[in-house]
A and B are shown apart, each in its own frame.
Chain A
Amino acid sequence: MKFVDEYRDRAKAEACARAIAAITTRPWSIMEVCGGQTHSIVRYGIDELLPEKITLLHGPGCPVCVTPLELIDKALLVAARPEVIFCSFGDMIRVPGSSADLFRVKSQGGDVRIVYSPLDAVKLAQANPDKQVVFFGIGFETTAPANAMTVVMAKRLGLTNFSLLVSHVLVPPAIRTIMDSPAHRVQGFLAAGHVCTVMGTSQYGPIVERYRVPIVVTGFEPLDVLEGIRRVLRQLEEGRAELENAYPRAVAAAGNPAAQDVLNDVFTVCDRAWRGIGTIPQSGWKLSERYVEFDAEQRFDVADIVTQESDLCRSGEVLQGLIKPNQCDAFGKQCTPRMPLGAPMVSNEGACAAYYQFRRTQVEGDK
């Protein structure tokens, strides 16, 4: 595959790993923010190529993982209603709520469908005027423009049977929360490339300044990740803290202004609960006043549902990089992909699931 295979080349990966080893003089801890990067690291065994002195911490950037339990419970309630066609991205279907997941709702007669594009849900609403079509609009800044377009289109088409169950979250407030935590171990960040494709890089400069921490905008293929790590290390070793873009083929400093216009129109910044972490002020998006009629929480009266997390699950600490997934006592025992206690065990991008799927050979030795 052109434009992909070039970034999975073994000789180049090994060369980059050698360059990393050559500049590393002492232990450093680097956090990759995005779940896609975590997946890539374990999927390709990237960390095995790094010097032992370097620790990769897996950040809170898996959209499935940080979606709060109570929102899953709301989704389950809405999806179970007979008049509803509930549409979701594939990997949200298996995320456990407090008593069930969307698969269970489907097996009990709920009309739950996996869509590949949010706009497919709008098409479903057009094709099923006697049904209420609800789209589960979660994710970071990356998925937000396409999710926002659903309500723009629904409004334009005059659809009264479409709504959005929204829980969008934002990367910069999460990075600030981690850096404000007294226990944090992070000395440098790989910023999420595709988030910056949409939003640009301007939000990260102030974080670099305030916390004196290197941030390198990084892609997702193995060579991208290695190059991001190399650049963070070079800064750390030279005592610098700067914002760098190691993913210029997909990220422009200004981001995507057309997408930002849609986001500003459709969403407004709000406080958001992050699963396993808690509420972070001004860390998410909800529908703006102009689109509030498309808010599924209002339409189906589930706004007031509140639920509790499992007390065995330490996903909050995993998501903040305080512990590795296999340092949680429930890991691989009470908590497996088959019976996940917390969301990071569900999604492919979740750090716990990635460790479970790709790392069981080392699990015992790491402890």
Chain B
Amino acid sequence: MSEALDLEGWSCPLPLRDQPNIIMGHGGGGRLSAELIEHLFVPAFAGTQLADVLRQLGDAAVFDLGGARLAFSTDSYVVHPRFFPGGNIGDLAVNGTINDVAMSGASPFALSVGVILEEGLAIDELGRIATTMGEAARRAGVSIVTGDTKVVDNGHGDGVYINTTGVGLVQAGLDLGPHRVRAGDVIILSGSIGMHGIAIMSVREGLEFGSDILSDSAPLNGLVATMLASGADVHMMRDPTRGGVAATLNEIAAASSTGMKIVESSIPVDEDVRAACGFLGLDPMCVANEGKLVAFVAPEHADLVLEAMHGHEYGRGATSIGMVVEDHPGLVVAKTGIGGTRVVDFALAEQLPRIC
């Protein structure tokens, strides 16, 4: 491997050069995705009035417009299979974008829906997906106000791809983000992790675990509103989707230049998910969620926000999992179940099941 010598003093002016083609990991939410955005998209999209908003790389862009503070986010859904235990691509597309908007502290009020359909898709199936989307939007109190439909030739798509874009209103004076995360903050997780990723994997790979593990897909705007209404000083929120809690904590540790100290035994993982992860050699902390959030809260307000969360249907399992520290900035360190420590890295791309 003589090319390895090229990497001497590697400082990533062109870190994409070792991958001349897009590989699946570029969409996996891990390091490869981050590098693609940072080194390809951000420079290409620079030079406009609000370009700095993109540079912040939040789940939602937040900016002032006509006296209002808006949050704006988009996401595309290419999940396969389209129907899985606990949901389908439709409610995922609605909930996912609502959550991205809500994590900025905004109340989402409107969504757009773009669908790309493959020739031959059963109208009946599209009807089921659309019905679920309507139900999800009504449940979250968000209106779907515009959309677009395109059809591609048979073989050029995977049945249905959905893009949703959401806008929300941020209340005056509210400012959430990694710049507000500081040593001493308590890290709160809203419930048990790993369910969505394992639910998808169980049907995608034809694995049977004895009992159905349901996706946790849910809209979190109500929970966020409840948390903020409690008056607690919340510094930041993020929904740990692809890459799981491990990716979220690592991203925030890097963005805020703080360290994270977590207690592994305090992280709620359902028994079925734990068993499935054990069987596949996966770390539940790296598995995707679609109805959970991680919040960073001023220590004196942790109990207040936890109490508020426990009164909400999507926050009943909320618990403190650790705290932000000054030590080891950029690193997430876990106390293991037997009292040792380990660094919690985030997966390079998608986790790969181990050989044995």
Contact = CB atoms under 8 A, between A and B. Distances in A.
Nearest to A46: B340
Interface in B1-40: 1, 3-5, 7-8, 10, 18-19, 21-25, 31
A341 B207 contact: no
Interface string B329-356: 0010100111111110100100011111
Q: For the complex of A and B, list the 4 residue pairs with the smallest distance between their C-beta atoms, beginning with the closest.
A: A45-B340, A90-B352, A90-B353, A13-B338
Interface in A336-367: 337-339, 341, 347-349, 356-361
Contacts of A116: 205, 207, 280, 353
A337 B349 CA distance: 11
A1 to B, nearest CB: 5
A361 B352 contact: no
A250 interface: no
B121 interface: no
Contacts of B207: 116
Q: Which of B1, B7, B331 has the most chain A CB atoms closer than 10 A to its own CB?
A: B1
Contact of B25 (A49, A103, A143): A103
27 contacts: A10-B339, A42-B342, A43-B342, A44-B342, A45-B338, A45-B342, A48-B341, A49-B339, A64-B355, A90-B353, A96-B1, A103-B23, A104-B19, A104-B21, A114-B353, A116-B205, A116-B353, A143-B356, A334-B4, A334-B7, A337-B348, A338-B348, A339-B7, A360-B331, A360-B343, A360-B345, A361-B328
Given A91-B352, A310-B1, A361-B331, A45 B25 contact: no
A341 B352 CA distance: 19
B64 to A, nearest CB: 38
A139 interface: yes
Contacts of B278: 1, 4
A63 interface: yes
Interface in B308-345: 328, 331, 333, 336-343, 345
Interface of B: 1, 3-5, 7-8, 10, 18-19, 21-25, 31, 205, 207, 271, 274-275, 278, 280-281, 328, 331, 333, 336-343, 345, 348, 352-356
A354 B271 CA distance: 25
A10 B328 CA distance: 25
Interface string A100-141: 000110111000001010000000000000000000001110
Contacts of B23: 103-104, 106-107
Given A312-B4, A341-B1, A222 B338 contact: yes
Contacts of B352: 90-91, 93-94, 114
Q: Which of A308, A338, A356 has the most chain B CB atoms closer than 10 A to its own CB?
A: A338
Contacts of A103: 23-25
A91 B339 contact: no
A213 interface: no
Given A91-B353, A334-B4, A46 B205 contact: no
A63 to B, nearest CB: 6
Nearest to A341: B4
A90 B31 CA distance: 19
Query: DSSP class of B's interface residues: helix, strand, loop or mixed?
Result: loop
Interface of A: 1, 4, 8-10, 13-14, 36, 42-49, 63-64, 89-94, 96, 98-99, 103-104, 106-108, 114, 116, 138-140, 142-143, 194, 222, 308-310, 312, 334, 337-339, 341, 347-349, 356-361
Contacts of B274: 1
Nearest to A142: B356
A285 to B, nearest CB: 16
B356 A194 contact: yes
Contacts of A337: 345, 348
B21 A139 contact: no
Contact of B8 (A42, A334, A356, A359): A334
A347 B354 contact: yes
Given A138-B355, A312-B4, A349-B355, 17 more contacts: A1-B271, A1-B278, A10-B337, A13-B338, A43-B342, A44-B338, A44-B340, A45-B342, A49-B339, A91-B355, A104-B19, A108-B21, A116-B353, A310-B4, A312-B5, A339-B18, A360-B345
Contacts of B1: 96, 98, 308-310, 341
